[in-house]
Amino acid sequence: MLIKVDASDFVPLYEQVKSEIRRLAAVGAVKPQDPLPSIRELAAEVLVNPNTVARAYRELEQEGLIFTQKGRGSFLAARRVQDTDRILEARLLRKLDEAIGEFRKFGVNTAEIRRRFEARLRRVEEQERKGGRNE
């Protein structure tokens, strides 16, 4: 499973795991009824304590995004996948709002924010064309 976490990030690891599973569901990399890795498998893959993954799975189950069957494992739930796109979009828009707020704190005007955003977007697109990572 293509889950990435960053131990140096201020966001708790279990929240990062939850966000990554939501992202994979939103982009269709994980489909309804698809099995998720076991807690131990995912913990070993992303190099975190199994309790971290267990907490993420437990909270995702409480939210209705996944379900668990004893002896079979955890699966992506069908009924909440449609909500995932909406949740992901809201999360991304909040991040944009936060970035704009930070620019505003430093007195950057709208035209300059737009110019910087467009320059950054061009840079990312160029890196994607070259097959490189976004920085």
Proportion of the chain above pLDDT 90, given as a percent: 60
d(CA 9, CA 11): 5
51 within 8 A of 86, measured Cβ to Cβ:
no
Instruction: Supply the pLDDT for residue 67.
Output: 94
Q: What is the pLDDT of residues 34-62, one digit of tens each?
A: 999 999 999 999 999 999 999 999 999 99
Give the residue from 48, 64, 63 showing the smallest Cα distance to 14.
48
HSE, side-chain direction, 13 A CA sphere, residue 4: 4
Instruction: Supply the pLDDT for residue 50.
Output: 97
Q: What is the pLDDT of residues 52-103, one digit of tens each?
A: 999 999 999 998 889 999 999 999 998 655 566 677 777 788 889 999 999 9
d(CA 35, CA 39): 12
120 within 8 A of 100, measured Cβ to Cβ:
no
Residue 33 has pLDDT above 70, yes or no: yes
HSE, side-chain direction, 13 A CA sphere, residue 86: 4
Instruction: Supply the pLDDT for residue 133.
Output: 53
